[in-house]
Amino acid sequence: RFGGSTEHSHKRNIDMRDHLQDALSSHKRSVEFIGQVPPERVPTILAETDICVFPSVWENFANVCLESMAAGRGVVASEAGGMAEMLDFGKFGRTIPPRSYRKIAQAIIELLDNPQLRMKLGKAARDRLLREYNVDRIGELQEASYCRAMERRREQGSRAI
């Protein structure tokens, strides 16, 4: 399933969708372009989906990628931005150049044709999410960041008024 994006013009989305539909024609029964999804439908969509594809031109911290990882789904995501880091640059999913419909299609076909790999990556992605993006871990990282900022401020001395 392919969700919508607000980053591109409507025409650009249609062009990319057309290219992807052509490139994925041999798997057209397995691929669905669904457009934007309201947040309350995300759990249902994830329950019905094997592979989540996010070819965004840029995403800083994409919750939808984390949601897909939590659901243990195969993920194909843009290498431009935070999703690449979430997937450890391809170790826990497939990262692709966002404007290359051929590379996007190749990654999708690889996961469609290899369910064992898809499930292995999905499980590994879920394990990574539970380990690296849990409340305790994020809290520790945030606290350490505040401590570093306060230490730098102390090293600089008091501010002149």
Average pLDDT over the chain, rounded to an integer: 89
Q: How far apart are CA 85 and CA 107, in angstroms?
A: 17
Give the lowest-confidence range in 14-18, 23-27, 81-85, 139-143.
14-18
Helix (H, G, I), strand (E, B), or coil: what is residue 37? coil
What are the tokens at 153?
């401020």
> Is the separation of the CB atoms in 95 and 79 below 8 Å?
yes
Query: Phi first, then psi: what are they for 106, rounded to 5°?
Result: -60, -45
Helices (H) and strands (E) in the chain, counts: 7, 3
The burial of 86, by beta-carbon neighbours within 10 Å (0-12 exposed, 13-18 middle, 19 or more buried), is given as buried
77 pairs with which residues across the strands? 54, 95
DSSP letter at 89 equals: G
Does the pTM surpass 0.85? The reply is no
- Residue-wise pLDDT for 145-155, tens only, equals 999 999 999 99
Q: What local confidence, expressed as pLDDT, does residue 12 receive?
A: 55
Q: How far apart are CA 153 and CA 93, in angstroms?
A: 39
> Is the separation of the CB atoms in 81 and 62 below 8 Å?
yes
